[in-house]
Chain A
Amino acid sequence: MDAPPKIAISGLRKAFGPKKVLDGVELSVAKGDSLVVIGGSGTGKSVLLKTILGLIRPDAGSIRIDGEETIGMDASARECANARFGMLFQGAALFDSLSVWENVAFGLVQGRGMARDEARRRAIENLAAVGLRPEVGDLSPAELSGGMKKRVGLARAIATRPEIIFFDEPTTGLDPIMSDVINDLIVACTRDLGATTVSITHDMQSARKIATHVAMLHGGRIIWTGPISEIDRSGSAHVEQFIHGRAEGPIQMQVRA
Chain B
Amino acid sequence: MNPLAAIGRIFLGFLSGAGRIALFAATAVSHCVRPPFYPSLVMRQMMDIGYFSLPVVGLTALFTGMVLALQSYTGFARFQAEGAVATVVVLSMTRELGPVIAGLMVAGRIGASMAAEIGTMRVTEQIDALVTLSTNPFKYLVVPRIVAAVAMLPLLVLVADIIGVLGGYLVAVYKLNFNMSAYLKQTVDYLQVMDVVSGLVKASVFGFLIAMLGCFHGYNSGGGAQGVGRATTNSVVSSSIMILVLDYMLTELFFSTR
Contact = CB atoms under 8 A, between A and B. Distances in A.
Interface of A: 50, 53-55, 75, 79, 82-83, 85-87, 89-91, 93-96, 106-107, 110-112, 156, 160, 166
Interface in B121-160: 121, 124-126, 128-129, 131-136, 140
B115 to A, nearest CB: 16
Contacts of B126: 93-96
A154 B124 CA distance: 16
Nearest to B41: A97
A93 B134 contact: no
Contacts of B134: 79, 82-83, 107, 110-112, 160
Contact of B129 (A75, A83, A87): A87
A156 B128 CA distance: 14
A89 B135 contact: no
B128 A93 contact: yes
Contacts of B129: 87, 89, 93-95
16 contacts: A50-B128, A55-B128, A79-B134, A82-B134, A85-B132, A89-B125, A93-B128, A94-B126, A95-B121, A96-B126, A110-B140, A111-B134, A111-B135, A112-B134, A156-B133, A160-B134
Contact of B131 (A82, A91, A96, A112): A82
Nearest to A111: B134
A228 B5 CA distance: 54
A156 B126 CA distance: 13
B133 A53 contact: no
Task: Kindly name the residue among A82, A110, A112 whose own CB sees the greatest number of chain B CB atoms within 10 A.
Answer: A110
Contacts of B133: 106-107, 110-111, 156, 160
Contacts of A160: 133-134
A219 B237 CA distance: 41
Task: Kindly name the residue among B121, B124, B126, B134 whose own CB sees the greatest number of chain A CB atoms within 10 A.
Answer: B134
Contacts of A156: 133
Contacts of B136: 75, 79
Contacts of A96: 126
Contacts of B124: 91, 93
B132 A82 contact: yes
A149 to B, nearest CB: 11
B43 to A, nearest CB: 14
Given A87-B129, A110-B134, A111-B135, 16 more contacts: A50-B128, A53-B132, A54-B131, A82-B131, A82-B132, A83-B134, A86-B132, A94-B126, A95-B129, A106-B133, A107-B134, A110-B140, A111-B134, A112-B134, A156-B133, A166-B132
- What are the 10 closest A-B residue pairs judged by CB atoms, nearest first? A111-B134, A93-B125, A93-B129, A107-B133, A87-B132, A110-B135, A83-B134, A89-B125, A93-B126, A106-B133
A90 to B, nearest CB: 7
Nearest to A82: B134
Nearest to A75: B136
